[in-house]
Structure 1
Amino acid sequence: MIRSIEETEEIEKRTNREWRTVSDPKEAGWLFSQDLLHRDRDSNTLFLSLDIRQDREEQDRALVQFYKKDNVRWTSSLQSTLRGDVAKGSGVDRHVMSTVIFRLMNGFHINLGKVAVTKVFEGEPDHLIPSVSDELLDNNMFAVAGRMIGHSFLHCGPRLPGLSPAIIHILFEGSLESAPVTIRDCSDLDVRDIIMKLQGDAEVEECGITNQLCLSWDLPTPNATNRKCLSEKILLHAVIERTKHQINQFRQGLIETGLWPLLIHRRDVIPVLFPRDSEAEITPQIVLDCIIWPSSITVFFESYKAKDEDESEIMDVHRVSGFLKTYIENASSTELKSLIKFWTGWEVPATEMKVEIVEATFPTAATCFEKLRLPRHYTTYKAFHQNLCACISTSDSGFGCT
């Protein structure tokens, strides 16, 4: 349907009003993102290309270089390609976006700071803070992180879970005095040990590592009267003061994606953008609720030609569907995320994930259509499980025949 300019403008105005007033923060984020993407629909397309024939380091460098580009309209349409793979369409975009956030969570295989794997954030789950590496700061990696997270959010992709509430507080310009810093936010275990000793009743050495730390951070050395207050200052310095330049750069990257008005006017969307690690878990029931199971009336084949129904075909549908249900019910959150990534292109469950029982050798997926195709020949769960796990493991290197 072709809309007039007046109709298009009215739709844009309505969308703009709705994201401000709708009660559900997730829906507000979606409406805002759609509004931004719609406004820039005529901008130059962003092309993100990965060569899966290259090693992981070269692929990671390509991702980082893409997000290092300055003066980019991140709300422009995105077209991703995997060189060396036959897959095309929106499923590839989802796969690439999922890879981006996965690398951000687990580290890039590039050597920055004399390490084999470079982590932009460090610490324990739900208490991640920016790395204090000056080399990452000099290489603009925190702006890269902000752009990656904002870009994925715009395209309804995966979020970055587990960021420290104290870092989120400062990121969105909260005061230093009210930052909810806890001992678990301190990623340096040696510094954490010093803080815990100062907070306790055990005698603190007159000299040594504690004094050296205090002097290097321009803090007073400990004594019987200042140790409690000093422990708080060390904790604040370790978590906030040492990462303030990283946080500023991270904020700038987010701003560049166009999300800042949403996050300032709708602060209830911030937990949607930065969920707790536990909230990012995927349960079997979440997956099962999204599945459109195959009908026993028709069985589809790779030739896409209908075949007369008989009792054996119906049995095949029920048996193999049951195998998949058993796999899902017994899978961990990590295994379920891998299954969904193979199925749809990223770890985010789709509203309708379709299953087809087909005449084939191995499980395949049509990620653009969010469709999982399972061979009908399996007669034992063991064989089904083995082949499904093997196929799922190929997601990190492309789609194969999907």
Structure 2
Amino acid sequence: MISSMPKGMKETEDISTSSSGKWKTVSTPKEARWLFSKCLLHSNRDSNTLFLSIDIRRDREEQDRALVAFYKKENVWWTAPLHCTLRGDVATGSGVDRHVMSTVIFRLMSGFYLNSGNIAVSKIFEGEPDHLIPSVSDELLDNNMFAVAGRMIGHSFLHCGPSFPGLSPAIIHILFGGSLGTAPLTIQDCPDLDIRDAIIKLKGDEDLEELDPIHQLFPPLDLPAPNATNRKWLSEKILLHAVIERTRRQINQFRQGLEETGLWPLLIHRKDVIPILFPRDSEAEVTPQIVLDCILWPSSITVFFESYKDKDEDESEVMDVQRISGYLKTFIENASPAELKSLIKFWIGWEVPATKMKVEIVEATFPTAATCFEKLRLPRHYTAYKAFHLDLCACISTSYSGFGRA
């Protein structure tokens, strides 16, 4: 089980207390999420273990097919214990589980290489950040890919892994039973630029004669020709159709996948948890201060190879620890959000910062990570920040192609 306890909760808390519904009454949504997930996983601890294996020696398409095949399985008890393996890598333990969960969500966001319909990348959701909606692809729908997406997101959330950011508020509204009339639709929710342009023209001051062909873009709706009194209604009707009505079956399939992971009672009873499951894209960004607040800095050097150790080096060791720690702090303070996520993924296995991320200064050639122990090991030999920066960037860039160990 791979979960991270929220601050302020005791490690020894009796898991049976959450089975009484404590998650319904705790003060924060993070606590509710953690208690509910912990209880659900604990109650199914004796179920048959789910084994998810990725061969990192294979190309991206084969890896993606393995992930999708795992989540396409029917009648699976998704709350059962999870064991992930990376074939072609010696890494073991919970760090591998975290890495695989992070990879699942990353692939869902970036698209799968499945050669589906002769398209290089199959994107389950389309649109701009914070306005993503389900793809209108009939092929994805027929292949049950929206249920797959629901299972992936729910499974990661259940294990306190990465959430899925950027989903349109209008889709979230409908997903959880909101009415069409109150859906918070905006023009940004429409990913089709031709339709978006038509809506903008209808809302503007375009000459009616210029607008006349617009209704021909939507024959299934059997829309009337635009005029001075109906143009606003037409723009709203077209937007509703483009965002909600055309994706209704996808949304229903997506909901089915989420429900199968066992999270639905939490999401229905604790609406304040929904923004954690589907955060805004900006809220999902990792800031330097968030990372710095989670770090346990070293107080001394750790020497793995005793032959390097000199009894008279105590003072230089302290200087090494201070210098390398300063380099890491400088890197974090100046890193982009994407670089910070890669660093955290390299460090602990996924992009969600842990509450205690440890740093060790060691005798080594390159930075390495022990993800199971949430520990970053940095060589002491760097005397210039430029060299440190280059090596660290090279190492963390491996986090999405492999396990992230240098």
Q: For the Cα contact (< 8 Å) 1:320–1:357, is it kept in 2?
A: yes
What residue number does 2:302 align with?
Answer: 300
Q: Counterpart amino acid of 1:360? A: A
What residue number does 2:53 align with?
Answer: 49
Matched residue SS, 1:161: coil
Matched residue SS, 2:359: strand
What residue number does 1:349 align with?
Answer: 353
Matched residue SS, 1:397: coil
Is structure 2 residue 79 aligned with structure 1 residue 60?
no
User: Structure 1 residues 387 and 11 mapped into 2: Cα distance closer, same or farther (>3 Å)?
Assistant: closer
Structure 2 length-normalised TM: 0.93
Is structure 2 residue 340 aligned with structure 1 residue 336?
yes
What residue number does 1:40 align with?
Answer: 44
Shift of 1:110: 1.5
For residues 338-373 of structure 1, give each alpha carbon's deviation from its aligned partner in whole angstroms, at most 9, with x where no partner exists: 000000000000100000000000000000000000
Q: Counterpart amino acid of 1:277? A: D
| Consecutive unaligned residues in structure 2, runs of 5 or more | 1-13
What residue number does 2:22 align with?
Answer: 18
What residue number does 2:367 align with?
Answer: 363
Distance in 1 of aligned mates of 2:111 and 2:126:
10
Structure 1 length-normalised TM: 0.94
For residues 19-39 of structure 1, give each alpha carbon's deviation from its aligned partner in whole angstroms, at most 9, with x where no partner exists: 010010111011000010000
| Consecutive unaligned residues in structure 1, runs of 5 or more | 1-9
Shift of 1:382: 0.6
Number of residue-to-residue matches in the alignment: 391
Q: Counterpart amino acid of 2:111? A: G
Q: CA RMSD in A?
A: 1.6
Matched residue SS, 2:378: strand
What residue number does 1:75 align with?
Answer: 79
Q: Counterpart amino acid of 1:366? A: A
Q: Counterpart amino acid of 1:367? A: T
Q: For the Cα contact (< 8 Å) 1:197–1:204, is it kept in 2?
A: no
From 310, 317, 321, the equivalent of 2:321 is 317
Distance in 2 of aligned mates of 1:102 and 1:221:
44
Shift of 1:235: 0.3
What residue number does 1:171 align with?
Answer: 175
Q: Counterpart amino acid of 2:371? A: T
Matched residue SS, 1:396: coil
Distance in 1 of aligned mates of 2:306 and 2:139:
54
Q: For the Cα contact (< 8 Å) 2:185–2:240, is it kept in 1?
A: yes
Q: What's the % identity of the aligned pairs?
A: 76
Q: For the Cα contact (< 8 Å) 2:71–2:151, is it kept in 1?
A: yes
Q: For the Cα contact (< 8 Å) 2:15–2:42, is it kept in 1?
A: no
For residues 182-238 of structure 1, give each alpha carbon's deviation from its aligned partner in whole angstroms, at most 9, with x where no partner exists: 111111111000000000111144677513213233322322221110000000000
Greater CA drift, 273-282 or 307-316: 307-316
Shift of 1:268: 1.0
From 213, 217, 220, the equivalent of 1:216 is 220
Distance in 2 of aligned mates of 1:239 and 1:141:
18
Distance in 2 of aligned mates of 1:48 and 1:280:
26
Matches within 5 A, 1:257-268: 257-268=261-272
Distance in 1 of aligned mates of 2:67 and 2:125:
17
From 164, 177, 184, the equivalent of 1:180 is 184
Distance in 2 of aligned mates of 1:242 and 1:84:
43
Greater CA drift, 137-146 or 104-113: 104-113
Q: For the Cα contact (< 8 Å) 1:299–1:307, is it kept in 2?
A: no
Matches within 5 A, 1:236-275: 236-275=240-279
Distance in 2 of aligned mates of 1:400 and 1:31:
30
Greater CA drift, 221-230 or 250-259: 221-230
Matched residue SS, 2:361: strand
Q: For the Cα contact (< 8 Å) 1:359–1:375, is it kept in 2?
A: yes
What residue number does 2:109 align with?
Answer: 105
Distance in 2 of aligned mates of 1:101 and 1:85:
21
From 345, 364, 375, the equivalent of 2:379 is 375
